[in-house]
Structure 1
């Protein structure tokens, strides 16, 4: 009997799945429920479980965190993800972490429960045939020096590959996770296996071949987990489609910082906005190295790039300096760097369409960033032009041509825009908000606010919060 654990923070979902599905018809039995990942781990420690169905978005410990922990502690546990349609990125992460399937909650009422369980049971049976229990390497009479892992970074592909490659004789073939397989062959057949796998790379979307050494005294489960961890961290940066064979040692430890430091993130943002990296190779290479040195996980890197794009477009999308497009998804640093290079080219083209020198364009961008990051200070065109070593009249002319507003108009606009955020998202006084956006006189601030918005700050706050209440009540 296959023992099943259901993990979801919604009690009704747990009870519904437990009672509605025909578990016994597929030789399955629900032996427990848990409301979060932490409680699920406690349950797994207390009694055996063969199949775990887990939600992804849960308090205390998310489903992704639970999967990472369970994968290390219970490598033979099968995991199915319970999710919503909009959790696409989470689904991809879960499949990469070894989930054998996922169930969209909104489809549970539409799909036949028998079909869902049949699909899960078939997948478990398929894996049972492939991932047979193997002894540790030193328990075998055959000497294996290396393990080869054929990995696809294309997480969206549903293709089951490589179908035509099979194990012969004393060769070992084992599915590591979805779109990732590993092989081992006796020493006298290593070269032949390597050539065979290398030739198969062109069948694998975004494929890479890992040649893993120092495998002695390891169990197959340890090797499998090492491959999954390497794929999750180091391979993201090591992958190169022009050189897809990577030699690695299991003795090498590649540690990643758990969280990036705020000062390192700020340094990258400053380099993006305040150095002429788009026009000079030296600054470009420096920015690339700053990104790579952080060794951010894919999700962290995606968040950083997204924040940079949003900030850039907020500042420059409506100006002659143009907007930049966000990369929709990436599976490797190689793709990220290609996007950065393409973005630099787009920014250069936008700059070249103006009649100003690059030095002047960079000065205007720097002025924008100075004002943006110091809204509580009353910068003037005269003061900034002196700081940037440009005559006041020429600075004002360049600023208006490039940004579409005079410096004073722009300064007033961004201060009022920031004050709108404070009004809607804080309960601070009008005087407090006025000071934070560079106005020491509350009455003067209110007059400027009404000129630009048609309302007093208090009226804007009241109207905005009324709209929020109507939206939340729908």
Structure 2
């Protein structure tokens, strides 16, 4: 019996999935529920679980963080992602943390329950069968000088064997995971194997050839796990399509990224929004180095980029400063840097078209970020213009022209937008929310809220939460 844990911060969603799906028909049993990642880890410590279904967006510990921790602590655990997104390609590519499948909650209908569980059960069986085929080789010590790994960074495309082993039987090959292969041969034929693998690189989409040293006296299983970890972390940064042959040592343990601190992530966001990096090579290089120095796991990096793009478009998409677009997937840092450079070109074009000096455009951007970061403060056009060393009248004129709203209109707009988030995602009082968005008078806040939305805050909360539950169920 496959024991199942369901992790989602919405109780109704947990209960709905637990009770509605035909678990018994697929030899599955729901043994527990958890409302966030920390509680899920506590449950995993207390009793065995074979399959965990987890939401991505949760308080306390997100689904991404939970997956990362669970994979290290419980490598045999199968994970399925619950998501609100119908197009999951980019999320699946971003996570790459071992999820065997995903469930799009907006598409969950009764007639699909059986299909979803059948798909998950089939995938679990495939992984179990693959593991059963490997025991004799997996625990054998390696005595070769090098092990080679031919790895495609694109896991979506099916690939045939790029080359066949020689007929003399001296070469060994091993499928690591989809689109990844491990090869080894005695020293006297190792050079020939290397040349054949190198020539095969153009047969495998966006591939790299790893020459792995210091493999002696390690088991095939250890080497295989090391290659998987390296592929999902360091290779993302090391890959260069112009030089796809990479020499690495198993003694250099750089396969695990450094866990980033919140202040590191905030520093990058501040650089993106407040420094003139699209217009200045020095600032551009600083931004690139900030990204690279964190050595974020690919899922973390893409999550950070998505948050930057979403925040930028939330602030500027409807203004003369323009929107930016996000690629649905990145296979390497090489592609990320190309996207950043392309984005800088788009930002420069939008800035030039405003007819204002770059100094003024940057000042308006900075004023918006200041306001967004401190919504509980009572900013005025006068105070911000003094802070930015611009005359009040000229600042107000530029602000309205670039943002499409007067300073006061924009100030009210962003405060009410933030209050909507609080109303839907917290249980805090209306007074608490009013204070957090800069209103000390609850009645005045409610009046402004109603003017802009047509609803009182309490009515908006009730209506919005009702819609959310209907969507999830």
Q: TM-score, normalised by structure 1?
A: 0.78
Q: Unaligned 5+ residue runs, structure 1?
A: 20-31, 45-51
Cα RMSD for the two superposed structures: 3.9
Any idea what SS the aligned residue of 2:54 has? Answer: coil
Residue number in structure 2 paired with 1:49: none
Q: Residues 347-383 of structure 1, C-alpha deviation per residue, up to 9 Å, x if partnerless?
A: 1111111111111110110111111112222222222
Distance, in Å, in 1 between the alignment partners of 2:121 and 2:300 is 35
Instruction: Please say if 1:311 is aligned against 2:315.
Output: no
Any idea what SS the aligned residue of 2:27 has? Answer: helix
- Please show how residues 150-229 of structure 1 align to structure 2 within 5 Å: 150-157=150-157, 159-167=158-166, 168-229=168-229
Distance, in Å, in 1 between the alignment partners of 2:138 and 2:380 is 73
Residue number in structure 1 paired with 2:398: 398
Distance, in Å, in 2 between the alignment partners of 1:102 and 1:297 is 20
Shift of 1:228: 1.0
Q: Please, which of 128, 133, 152 is the counterpart of residue 137 of structure 2?
A: 133
- Please show how residues 13-162 of structure 1 align to structure 2 within 5 Å: 13-18=22-27, 54-57=51-54, 68-69=72-73, 71=75, 97=98, 109=114, 132-133=136-137, 136-137=140-141, 144-157=144-157, 159-162=158-161
Residue number in structure 2 paired with 1:465: 462
Larger relative contact order (CA 8 Å, sep ≥ 6): 2
Residues 89 and 383 (structure 1), Cα distance of their counterparts in 2 relative to 1, 3 Å cut: closer
Distance, in Å, in 1 between the alignment partners of 2:282 and 2:134 is 51
Q: Residues 243-296 of structure 1, C-alpha deviation per residue, up to 9 Å, x if partnerless?
A: 101100111011645642111111111111100011111111111111111111
Shift of 1:132: 4.9
Any idea what SS the aligned residue of 2:210 has? Answer: strand
Distance, in Å, in 1 between the alignment partners of 2:42 and 2:377 is 48
- Please show how residues 244-263 of structure 1 align to structure 2 within 5 Å: 244-254=244-254, 256=256, 259-263=259-263
Distance, in Å, in 2 between the alignment partners of 1:40 and 1:161 is 38
Any idea what SS the aligned residue of 1:320 has? Answer: coil
Residues 408 and 350 (structure 1), Cα distance of their counterparts in 2 relative to 1, 3 Å cut: same
Distance, in Å, in 2 between the alignment partners of 1:470 and 1:313 is 25
Residues 197 and 272 (structure 1), Cα distance of their counterparts in 2 relative to 1, 3 Å cut: same
Q: Judge which range, 218-227 or 80-89, deviates more.
A: 80-89
Residue number in structure 2 paired with 1:439: 439
Any idea what SS the aligned residue of 2:176 has? Answer: strand
Q: Judge which range, 285-294 or 122-131, deviates more.
A: 122-131
Instruction: Please say if 1:282 is aligned against 2:291.
Output: no
Any idea what SS the aligned residue of 1:395 has? Answer: helix
Q: Judge which range, 202-211 or 34-43, deviates more.
A: 34-43
Distance, in Å, in 1 between the alignment partners of 2:423 and 2:125 is 55
Q: Contact 1:81/1:103 (CA < 8 Å) preserved in 2? A: no
Any idea what SS the aligned residue of 1:133 has? Answer: helix
Shift of 1:153: 0.8
Q: Contact 1:319/1:404 (CA < 8 Å) preserved in 2? A: yes
- Please show how residues 330-341 of structure 1 align to structure 2 within 5 Å: 330-341=330-341
Shift of 1:339: 1.3
Residue correspondences, number: 436
Distance, in Å, in 2 between the alignment partners of 1:452 and 1:294 is 41
Q: Residues 422-457 of structure 1, C-alpha deviation per residue, up to 9 Å, x if partnerless?
A: 4444454544444333334445444444443445xx
Residue number in structure 1 paired with 2:360: 360
Q: Which has the larger radius of gyration?
A: 1
Q: Residues 123-171 of structure 1, C-alpha deviation per residue, up to 9 Å, x if partnerless?
A: 8767766775266446xxxx621111001110211x1332542254321
Shift of 1:83: 6.9
Any idea what SS the aligned residue of 2:296 has? Answer: coil
Residues 276 and 55 (structure 1), Cα distance of their counterparts in 2 relative to 1, 3 Å cut: same
Instruction: Please say if 1:232 is aligned against 2:229.
Output: no
Distance, in Å, in 1 between the alignment partners of 2:90 and 2:378 is 43
Distance, in Å, in 1 between the alignment partners of 2:411 and 2:122 is 63
Residue number in structure 2 paired with 1:26: none
Distance, in Å, in 1 between the alignment partners of 2:400 and 2:352 is 17
Residues 378 and 18 (structure 1), Cα distance of their counterparts in 2 relative to 1, 3 Å cut: closer
Residue number in structure 1 paired with 2:342: 342
Q: Contact 1:56/1:90 (CA < 8 Å) preserved in 2? A: no
Any idea what SS the aligned residue of 1:269 has? Answer: helix
Q: TM-score, normalised by structure 2?
A: 0.78
Q: Judge which range, 320-329 or 7-16, deviates more.
A: 7-16
Q: Unaligned 5+ residue runs, structure 2?
A: 7-17, 33-39
Distance, in Å, in 2 between the alignment partners of 1:83 and 1:447 is 41
Residues 368 and 391 (structure 1), Cα distance of their counterparts in 2 relative to 1, 3 Å cut: same
Distance, in Å, in 1 between the alignment partners of 2:68 and 2:404 is 46
Distance, in Å, in 2 between the alignment partners of 1:362 and 1:111 is 49
Shift of 1:175: 1.2
